[in-house]
Structure 1
Amino acid sequence: MRAIFMGTPEFSVPALRAMAARHDVVAVYSQPPRAAGRGQKPRPSAVHAAADELGIAVRTPLRLRDPGDQADFAALQADVAVVVAYGLILPEPVLNAPRLGCLNIHASLLPRWRGAAPIHRAVMAGDAETGVAIMQMEAGLDTGPVLAKARTAIGPEETTADLHDRLSAMGADLIVEVLARMPLPAVAQAEDGVTYAAKIDKAEARVDWSRPAVEVDRLIRGLSPFPGAWCEIAGERVKLLRSRMADGQGQPGQVLGDFAIACGQGAVEVLEAQRPGKRPMAAAELLRGWALPVRLR
């Protein structure tokens, strides 16, 4: 097929590579380079860098509402466009330009977790499973009919980072299967079971030890590695990156031993954390020569 690929972060790269190995990817669309690093020099997105490596032309419009940009998109005469975490809303002239329309790889089992942060929200909600869905895009937010799904269990100690990598690979495999069988019938999403994965607000990230341990554990794992759940320890803002449920009871925030912390109900053991300006460390390494106070805030 003549295909257009539209994506920006590292999550999208496996799908681009899988498509480029099997189809004629005539153009890649990605977010413009952003200032990054100490020198704040413009840095291309992960998808942009991968496309350069693959020798595929990259386009980085700020938006796609300009008629000229829409005409350029249509002039590619693509059979299909595949969209994976691109970051721009596609207007209807773009959605309708490819012969088979635009397909989206979404990191949830639609209609659950439509929206911006489906992986984070699935972990934070304590979902037993998640997956990827290939959706025929339409004007609504993740409302289009679904062509295929792949499921995976969420382990009791898995973080958003763990799931991110697995779902990225699953999405790449599934889009290859779908494109090989196109055109496919698309099934309308059920009206029941719709939930929205709102963008993560940094205000959510501070740990409230008065909450039940199961909620604290899900918060830590769901916000790892970004933005990172945190608490204040001896005046430092420490990110908590991995955790599991633990035995014990105490006052909320009370240190029960090593890095086991009492919550409103039950306790959580922190397995990995990061002090300001330091690399992430396993709890045992971090606590060498650094004693926790009696109670965390």
Structure 2
Amino acid sequence: MKIVFFGTPEISVPILEILNEKYKLSLVVTQQDRKKGRGKKLLPPPVKEKALELGIEVFQPENINSQEAIEILKGQEADLFVVIAFGQILKEEVLNIPKLYAINIHASCLPKLRGAAPINRAIIQGHATSGVSIMKMERGLDTGDVALCEEIDISNLNAEELSEKISELGSKLIVEFIENLKAGKVRFDKQDSDLATYADKIDKFTGYIDFETMDTKTICNLVRGLYKKPAASTTYKGERFKILKAEPVDTDVKAGLGEIIEVNKSLVVKTLDGALSILEVQFPGKRIMTIEEHLAGNEFVKGELLGG
């Protein structure tokens, strides 16, 4: 079974490793190196680093649908393309290159949460479960037939923790799919598009907390769903900062929405239906800190407003 693997971020790495261990990948396709961090240093994506460590050939096309990229992919004479979080849309000509299928490992139980950000949106929307689908790729947005799907409980997980679980489950299911394929036991089922929901792309505005309109649960879900990047955020005295961990607090204190009502081992802020205890923050240019660590050299003033 000759496999070309497509992936870019950290979530793709464990799947790359298991596929190479069992089937010896012929090529890894990933995004180009990007400038990151305050020094804007050119850094390779995690998948490239791991592929080179394992001695696998790496291809980093600027445009996966260019004629040059298509000819390189055709030259692999692959049976399967396996894709997870690659970062470019594969057009139909590319999807038709492998002898058997182009397969996507999608981080939801389709047709729920089709689209760019199923991990984040599952948490932000307060879902009790998420999952992984092994899907045949086609022209539509995550509309292809599904061979395997398995759910997982996501209660109280943040986006980083859920990504790890998705990667672990995806590794298991893609091996199961390939073994089924080799044994002639694969069956694809059509999705019910009437049940489809969509996971819109996350941008820098997604995480802005509005204490005037969001209840405590909504804010906590936003904090968990956007951990650590781009992270939920608000402002204090005009300076925007990130909130990395928070939990609900029951209170009957009368205060304005977003008002700081307690400053101690946590920062307690009034919300629509109670209060929010902010436990971890990150200010610009600083590392992630607990509130206790932050208060050792900075202050929050009781009675001031967040997000005002």
For Structure 1 versus Structure 2, the TM-score category normalised by the shorter chain is over 0.9
| Alignment deviations for residues 189-210 of structure 1 (CA, whole Å, 9 cap, x no partner) | 1123211111112122221112
Q: Which amino acid aligns with 2:274?
A: G
Task: Provide the residue aligned with 2:290 in structure 1.
Answer: 282
What is the aligned partner in structure 2 of residue 23 from structure 1? 23
Give the structure 1 partner of residue 250 of structure 2: 247
**Which amino acid is the alignment partner of residue 163 of structure 1?**
L
Q: Which residue matches 1:201?
A: 203
The equivalent residue for 2:43 is: 43
Contact 1:220–1:228, Cα closer than 8 Å, also in 2: yes
Counterparts of 2:112 and 2:188, CA distance in 1 = 17
> Which amino acid counterpart does residue 242 of structure 2 have in structure 1?
K
2:64 — aligned with what? 64
- Of 208, 213, 226 in structure 2, the residue corresponding to residue 223 of structure 1 is 226
Worse-superposed segment, 23-32 or 245-254: 245-254
SS in 2 for 1:134: strand
Which shifted more, 14-23 or 245-254? Answer: 245-254
Counterpart-to-counterpart distance in 2, 1:111 and 1:229: 27
Cα shift readout 1:245-285 (whole Å, capped 9, x = no counterpart): 21114421122323121112222212211122211122333
Q: What is the distance in 1 between the residues matched to 2:22 and 2:235?
A: 50
What TM-score results when the alignment is normalised by the length of structure 1? 0.94
Secondary structure class of the residue paired with 1:77: coil
- Specify the alignment match of 2:240 in structure 1: 237
Amino acid at match of 1:161: E
- Paired with 2:89 and 2:285, the residues of 1 have a C-alpha distance of 36
**In structure 2, what is the Cα distance between the partners aligned to 1:53 and 1:95?**
28
**Which residue of 2 is the match for residue 170 of structure 1?**
169
8 Å Cα contact 1:159-1:242 kept in structure 2: no
**What letter corresponds to residue 164 of structure 1 in structure 2?**
S
Task: With the length of structure 2 as denominator, give the TM-score of the two structures.
Answer: 0.91
Whole-Å separation in 1 of the counterparts to 2:240 and 2:155: 28
On the 8 A contact 1:146/1:186 being kept in 2, the answer is: yes
- The one-letter code matched in structure 1 to 2:280 is E
Moved more, 225-234 or 30-39: 30-39
Secondary structure in 1 matching 2:276: strand
User: What is the number of residues matched between the two proteins?
Assistant: 296
Please tell me the residue identity of whatever aligns with 1:192.
D
Residues 111-122 of structure 1 correspond to what in structure 2 (within 5 A)?
A: 111-122=111-122
Q: Does the Cα contact within 8 Å between 1:248 and 1:256 map onto a contact in 2?
A: no
> Match for residue 151 of structure 1?
151
AA matched with 1:171: G
Structure 1's consecutive aligned runs of 4 or more residues displaced over 6 angstroms after TM superposition are: none
The question of 1:296 aligning with 2:296 is answered no
Distance 1:237 1:30 in 2: 33
Is the 1:220–1:242 contact (alpha carbons within 8 Å) kept by the matching residues of 2? Answer: yes
Q: Deviations over 1:34-72 (max 9, x none)?
A: 123454343211111111011011111111333332122
Q: Which residue of 2 aligns with 1:128?
A: 128
Percent same amino acid among aligned pairs?
39
Q: AA paired with 1:32?
A: Q
CA deviation vs aligned residue, 1:122-145 (integer Å, no higher than 9, x gap): 111000100111111011111101
Q: Report the equivalent of 2:105.
A: 105
Cα distance in 1, alignment partners of residues 53 and 155 from structure 2 = 35
Take 1:30 and 1:221, find their aligned partners in 2: how far apart are those partners?
Answer: 28
> CA contact under 8 A between 1:251 and 1:264: conserved in structure 2?
no
Partner of 2:143: helix, strand, or coil? coil
Structure 1 residue aligned with 2:142: 142
2:215 aligned partner: 212
Equivalence map 1:177-196=2 (5 Å): 177-182=176-181, 183=184, 184-196=186-198
Q: How far apart are residue 15 of structure 1 and its match?
A: 0.4
2:267 pairs with one of 228, 252, 259: 259
Task: Report the Cα distance in structure 2 between the residues aligned to 1:127 and 1:33, rounded to whole angstroms.
Answer: 34
- The letter of the residue matching 2:105 is I
When structure 1 is superposed on structure 2, of 78-87 and 255-264 the one drifting more is 255-264
